[in-house]
Every structure is written in C-alpha cells, then in structure tokens.
Structure 1
Amino acid sequence: MKRRDLIKTAAAGLVAAPLAIGATSANAATTLRMQTYWGKEANDIFDAFTDDVKIASNEELKVRRYTGSSLVPDAEMFQAVSKGTIDMCQGYAGYWPGQLDIASIEAGLPAAWTNYDEAMYIMDTKGLSDLIRESYAEHNVHYLGPIMGGPFDLLTKEPVNNLEDLKQMKIRATPSISKILQQFEIPTVFLPGSELYVGLSTGTIDGVIYAGTNEYLSMKLYEAAKYYTSLNMVSPGYTDEILVNMDKWKSLTDEQRKCIELAFAKHATKMHTWMVSGSIDASATGHFVMSALPPEDSARLRKAAEVIWEEEAAKSERNKKAIDILKAAAKATGRA
C-alpha cells in the first residue's frame, strides 16, 4: 500500500474515533449561526460536526447550520462573518479574492501541491496556515484552519478532448482559474454553487470547474452535463475553511474554543475523506463519461499558473512569503 493510501486509511480511523474532549461546566447555551456554501448533499457531514460541538461542550455551544445562500449570498459569507451578521461559515476563499490579499493562495493555486500530504506539509509544517490566519485576523475573523477538498475538475455538456474544444464553451470558474483559462481564449463566468444546476440546464453555461464527481453526483449536475474531464492542475483541487467572527470567538471560554477546534479537526479529516472516497465511488456509477486532458495540455495549464503565482506574490509582503513557501515546496519535491 502506498504511503498516501496509508495516510488516508489512518484519516478514516480518526473520523471514526470519538472526540477526546472533556465536558465543560453547565451554563446557558450559546447558539452560533453558521452558513456553508454546501447544500443538503452534505447534511450528514455537517450534522456530525454540530453534534460534536454540542456534545463536547456539554451543550454549552450549539451550532445552527444553514445551507448555501440561505442567509447571505455565498460570495458574501466572509464579509458577513467579519461584520457579525453570521457567526461562522464554511467557505471557499476563491469566492473573495478581491477582499482578502491571500484568498487565491489559500483556495489552492494551480500547481501549488500534488497530493494531500504535500498540501498539509505546506499548510501546517511550513506555516502557510499561520499567514492565512494573520490575514483573516485583520478583518475581525478567526481562521480555524484548512479543509482539503477532493478533485477539482471539469464537467461539461459536450465531450472535451483538448483545450481547443473549450474555446467554444462558456465555463464557470473562480477568478483565479479564469485568469488561467483566459490565457487560452476560453470564455469564463462565475456562478455560486447553488446556481450551477440551473446554469447548466438553461444553457447559461456549458461547463463547470467546481469539484469532483462526488459533488457533481450529489448536486445531480450529471442530469445536465455528463462529461467529466480530469485537468491535473492541482490535487487536492481546492481548500475550504471554517471562519468565526473574531468578537464571538474571543467571547468564548478557553474550554469552548477547544471544543470547536477539536470538532473542526475531526470534521476537516472526515470531509476530505468523504470527498475523495465519494468521488471514486461516484465515478463508477455510470452517470459520467470519464476522460482526461492530454498530458501536454495539463502541463500548459500548470505553466500558465506561473503568471498567477507572480501576480499573487506582488499583492503584499505576506503573499510573497506564501508564494516563497510554495516555491520551496515545489523545489523540495522535485517539481521545480
């Protein structure tokens, strides 16, 4: 068994293990309103997280979770947490690159890492998470940490054999991915996850770069688009996070904060495992026609990402430090 598979097996064991948290003293419950961009397809995952917080805190803390765009538009969750309009969110920083200097780097730049182990080495061991946490703190937001996603590939209504085929399609992509696709004259548009089904069904878009087959299956996007194309730009393909309003975070006791941190750690591992294993299973359902870009086209996408890296590094001194971390990791793993 490969080391990467061993890591995933160990992670699955962590998911099954109970939280090692001692109960706090009984007080009146504090309810935290949390929005995610995820819909009902992820109910079981988030129910487990909210239950863990409730049980670990001896019911002092209760997280009430709302699905995508229920309270505020998904792209505005960061600002809503900053202002205290909502207490928490699980979001994707690719939604707010113009609001946070390090957002695109946090979300997972193309060619940033090639596997889960490398991504967590960059985040935790080399300090990228600390830089991200510092940036959010300047906006009155506490960053709990990264939730590494699964695949981040292309789903289209028509087959894709190469990059040239995409020039005739309008692709939903985040701003950072759009900058790469536009170098190849591929039209792009942004839509939040909650609007993808309608967008594909009505022809507003011809394809999406959003996640992997697991998410595409649960969102039933295969009913409108069945051609799945692996891009091989970055793996894991995206990074979620949980954010907490800083004033709310500081109002909690040390024990309550620890309950949330440990529940988050379990949730992050469980969600990554769900997304990766689910995508493997979903790929075999028959709902998708599976293919991959030619290796030379994937290499062209990764090469185009170098422009994005330099643009990000120029935004702030903090961003330069973050890009230096990515460059050092690429060199250490023989990719540069």
Structure 2
Amino acid sequence: MKLSVFVKSVLATSLAVSVLASQAAYAETMRLRMHTFYGTEVDQIAADLSDRVKEASDGSLQIQFFRGGELVDSDQFVEAVAQGSISIAHGVGSYWPGTVGIGTIEAGLPGAWVSVEEARDIFANQGLDKIIAEAYEEKGVKLIGRGFGSDYGLVTTKPVTSLEDLGDMRIRATSSIATVLQKFDIPTAFIPGEELYIALSTGVIDGAVYGGPVEYEQLRINEVAGYYTDLNLLNPGWTENLLINPGTWEKMSDEQQQILQTELDQYLLDVHNWLEEGNQRLIDEGTLFEFATLSEEDSRDLAEASLPIWREEAARSERNARAVEILIQNAKAKGRLSE
C-alpha cells in the first residue's frame, strides 16, 4: 500500500514530536543524594542501585550515595529529607521515635513477628505500612520502601544457653529489649555500635544484642566475644525504611517514579539477602562463633514479658494504638497470644 505525501509528512511529524516529548521529559537530570545508616559493607549493593537507575532512566536519574554518618547522623534522617538536604534516606524507625512516634513499633517490638514472611504480611497486607506512612507524611516526608533486616541475636564473652546464665552479665541493648531483659533482673546498658568492640574487650559489658552474625563479623566482635545465642524473640530483628523528599518525588515523571520505586525495592531486597546469606554462611561454617539457642520456655517467657512494652507504645497515641492492635490480632491468629 502506497502512502500519500501528506500521510508520510504527518507520520514523520508525529514521530518527531514523540521523540522530542520523550527527550523533554528527561531534559533535566535529577541528582538524588541518598543516605544510608550502613557503612562500607553495602557499597557494592549501592553501586549496583546507582547503575541500574541511571541506565533505566537514560541518565535522567543519578544517585549519589552516602554512608552512615557522612552527611548527617542517622537519627536526623527525617528532618534532613524533609528539608531537602538529602533526597532519600535508608534508615530504621527506632532511630527517631522522638520525631516519629510510631518509629519504635515500625522497627519491631519484641515478639511482634517471627519470620520475614509474617513481617511482610503485617506491613503490606494487614495495614501497618499505611498507618506508618501517615505518620511520616505529617513530618514532611514520603515513605516509599520497606526493607527487612535479619537475625537479631545475643553475642557474649562466655556461653549462654538460658536466661539464668545472663544473671551476672551486663548486656548492651536498645530500650525495648532492655526493658524485657530487666524484667529478669539482667543488667543492661546502651552503647553505640561503633563502641561495642572496646566495651566488650574492656569488660564494660559482657554481651550485646545488636544484629546477626554478619554484623558482628563486620565489627570484628568475634575477636572479643565468641558466643552467639538466638533469643528466638524477633525475626527479622528490625525493619528498614526508605524516605524521600515529597518535592523531589513530585518533580519526577510517572516513568521516572516507577523506575526509582522498582530499583529501590530491589536494593532493599539485595540488602536483606546479603544479611541472610552472610548469617547462614557463618552459621554453616561454625568457626566464628559458638552457636546456641534459648529453650522454647525461656523464649516464651521473654515474649510474655514483652507485652507491657506493646501496651506502653499503644498508649502513646491513637495511631500507635491502631498499629499495636494489628500486631495483637496477628499474634492471636498465629497462636502466640490467647484470646
């Protein structure tokens, strides 16, 4: 079939307009400053993210990545994103409970979930992330990603196989875990992660609840504390989030938003897989730590001791109460709480 000169002209013009429109949509390169709470251990994962985003967006989105502490402290992420000094933050809600009141619940209350699958369902399908997003919106930031940590066990300078073994030890723990341990007369203290090595080597503390085997390996904790005990209380032991400046998000085209969302989701999954694979490798090798697990009875006692923390968090606000109610109903459905 032969086309007239007029039709050919119209087609050529339409094609040119389409190309120009596509180029115009990407005319301005957006440079995104992304900050994580992790250190050098996620450098390769971050580099892969930057490469994928740049390629998928034809160079219109470019990520400049910053490690923990390089630009702002991790507990200042919410303010920094809201002000636009960083575009995207990769953090943990428990770093800023004074700024976002639901942060401690978001990060993970003791006994809230016992598997990644359960945690994903609670956040995505039972409405927890929707409630959390409301809280961040009020602070001028947009929640665009949910990540999941990994093992969250106890490392000590001598063997621990029961709660009784902890009676004469001082354990580093965050506030919620510390509250649970204190109910069993176990002394606790809070020490920043970067100070754990010195604190353990000098006897300031005798153990720490900080992460999984791979995190302890990164900090060389095995050199000063060679025993790892699974508390079987919260797994994954923390959740991670991605926050973006709303103005930055709204400047993107729909296609750019989809590209960024897809690649950030992959980034969070890559971090989780790195943690899981690293922890399993160290457990299988069995050379870095001597591994043990608390008895079911001790773990159940810890879980029951956690309930006052749930109630305390619920009492802080109506929003927190709604979030805790989701956790309660889930725990009942799983048989971990009685009716």
Q: How many residues align?
A: 315
Distance change in 2, residues 1:225/1:110 (3 Å): same
1:48 aligns with 2:48: yes
Summarize the Cα distance change of 1:203–1:295 in structure 2 as closer, same or farther, 3 Å threshold.
same
For structure 1, which segment, 136-145 or 270-279, has the greater mean C-alpha deviation from structure 2 after superposition?
A: 270-279
Name whichever of 127-136 and 81-90 sits farther off. 81-90
For residue 119 of structure 1, give the secondary structure of its aligned residue in structure 2.
helix
Cα 1:172/1:137, change in 2 over 3 Å: same
C-alpha deviations, 1:300-331, integer Å up to 9, x for none?
11111100111111111111111111111112
Matched, 1:313 2:304: no
Q: In 1, Cα distance between the equivalents of 2:47 and 2:197? A: 24
Q: Are the equivalent residues in 1 in contact too, given 2:57–2:259 (CA < 8 A)? A: yes
Identical-pair percentage: 41
TM-score w.r.t. structure 2 length? 0.86
SS of equivalent to 2:233: coil
Cα displacement (A) at 1:298 = 1.2
Q: What corresponds to 2:93 in structure 1?
A: 93
User: Are the structure 2 counterparts of residues 105 and 177 from structure 1 closer, same or farther at C-alpha, using a change threshold of 3 Å?
Assistant: same
8 Å Cα contact 2:113/2:235 also seen in 1: yes
- Measured in 1, the distance between the counterparts of 2:160 and 2:148 equals 27
Larger Cα-atom Rg: 2
Distance 1:75 1:225 in 2: 28
- The CA deviation at 1:153 is 0.7
Q: 1:329 to 1:256 in 2, by over 3 A?
A: same
Query: Structure 1 residue 243 and structure 2 residue 238: aligned?
Result: no
Shift in Å, 1:277: 2.0
Deviations 1:111-169 (A, max 9, x none): 11121221111111111111111111111111113201111111122222322333433
Conserved? CA contact 2:112–2:327, under 8 Å: yes
Give the structure 1 partner of residue 324 of structure 2: 323
**Match of 1:118?**
118
CA contact (8 A) 1:170 1:189 kept: yes
CA contact (8 A) 2:30 2:61 kept: yes
Q: Provide the C-alpha distance between the structure 2 equivalents of 1:28 and 1:198, rounded to a whole number of angstroms.
A: 48
Q: Which residue of 2 aligns with 1:5?
A: none
Uncovered stretches (5+) of structure 2, i.e. residues with no partner: 1-21
Q: RMSD between aligned alpha carbons?
A: 2.1
TM-score normalised by length of structure 1: 0.87
Report 1:157-306 matches (<5 A).
Answer: 157-285=157-285, 286-306=287-307
> Quick check: 2:25–2:253 contact (8 Å CA) kept in 1?
no
Sort the Cα spacing of 1:28 and 1:260 in 2 relative to 1 into closer, same or farther, 3 A. same
Q: Which runs of 5+ in 1 are unaligned?
A: 1-21
